[in-house]
Amino acid sequence: MTTGASMPPTIDDRFENLVVSPERVLEMLGRRRVGQVTYEQSEQGDARRRLLHVEKVAIENKRLQEKSEASYIETVNHQLHEILLGEITEYLGQTAELCQSTLSMPENIGELLDALSVRACTVSKLEPIAATMPWLYEDLIAVVNTPRFRRKDSRGRIIVVETLRTALSFIGIDNLRLLIPYFIFKRALPQVTDPYPQIKQKYLSYATGVALTAKHLAAESGLNTNEAYTLGMLSNLGRCAVTRLYFRLFDKIQMHLLQECQKDKEQKRYGALLKIAPSANHLIALQQEFADAVTADVLSHIALKRLRIADTMRLCADNAPTKLNTLAKSLHQARTYTQIRMLHQLKLIDIKEVRPLLIEQQYPVGSLEKLKSVDVFTLPLVKNEENQ
């Protein structure tokens, strides 16, 4: 009896694994990494074929021993993650503490985003709010003194910007509407994610891609482009929170369990705990379970009055049906498009797999063709020529 070929991993599964480690997707697709050889091609394979019977028996005994040891390690790993799940669930329920301590968001972040969202936004209205956030001052000063925004005085000397008001003025409101949500998200990114160091970069690329794609799609659908962009960027705050907590709690719980083992002289369990590393599978499962709901909680907590994105994020978190030409639909479309584009960059997706997804999302007519020529992973900042 012939069994059918196994189904290829879904686009969603590929993307979630890409974020953690691209090598995982290659393994999922059955591809060899560069420089990797098959077992049959290796010296080990050649040697194995020449082994004497006695050696084969010894290897089998070792294999069974390793299998038993692996089973024990997996049991300890499961116990560690059971504790972690309980703690992370408790932390995620404390939204105020989560915003302040985990995501490093000041209490008046909603006021800043609201001020940016109104059509009549001015530097004089932004400055007193931004002045309460030293980290934002540092980010803006770094940007305004780059060659892109650098200005010269009447003698041709470069003007070094040192004040917040000048930085805001030189950068300009349109650029600030792109930069400030970007800086808020960047500040929330997890910093230590060993053994998966690429997570931070992938999150930033994904958030930027979703935000800029949503902005373009909103323009095609007659929606508020600033709302679409800001929602797209901040819709990934939940990912940051879950990831930061996962790695922080993993280290804390592992250390606590190791100390218990030392105290109780449990050498076998102690050795197993030392071999346990943060798990990509557990992290992905936690993201899928909690990330969007956490984002919705965060956007509700910061009490936005003018920027109408919190209710939309809640709809997405609840997997509620979405109608065409709505902010929620634009977010879904932007996420799908960005995931496909990130996978396509590394040749981890085939065009035949893409078409059904694009058709299902019902993009505005002509929008996909326009997006082909857009760099959705780089902020389209334009030099502000006012007050030259």
The DSSP-derived string for 171-206 is H-HHHHHHHHHHHHHHHHS-S--TT-TTHHHHHHHH
Nearest to 309 by CA among 331, 335, 290: 331
pLDDT score of 352? 87
Token readout for 303 is: 């009490």
- Identify the segments of the chain with pLDDT beneath 50: 1-4, 34, 37-41, 48, 50-51, 53-55, 387-388
pTM of the model: 0.88
Nearest to 275 by CA among 18, 12, 69, 85: 69
Q: What angle do CA 17, 23, 25 make, to 5 degrees?
A: 45
- Cα radius of gyration (the chain): 25
Considering Cα of 225, then 226, then 227, then 231, what sign does the dihedral take?
A: positive
- Cβ distance 309 to 299 under 8 Å? yes
Type of residue found at 48: R
> φ and ψ at 2, to 5 degrees?
-95, 130
- Cβ distance 22 to 198 under 8 Å? yes
Tokens 């006695």: give the residue: 54
Tokens 């690429």: give the residue: 198
Cα separation, 112 vs 304, in Å, equals 9
- Cβ distance 132 to 105 under 8 Å? no
Residue 152, C-beta contacts closer than 8 angstroms, at least 6 positions apart: 158, 159
> φ and ψ at 265, to 5 degrees?
60, 45
pLDDT score of 66? 59
Cα separation, 149 vs 171, in Å, equals 7
CA neighbours closer than 13 Å in the CB half-sphere of residue 6? 6
pLDDT score of 67? 62
pLDDT score of 371? 95
Three-state DSSP class for 218?
helix
Q: Give per-residue pLDDT as tens, 174-227.
A: 999 999 999 999 999 999 999 999 999 999 999 999 999 999 999 999 999 999
> φ and ψ at 47, to 5 degrees?
-65, -40
Three-state DSSP class for 148?
coil
Token readout for 91 is: 């932390």
Token readout for 227 is: 């709302």
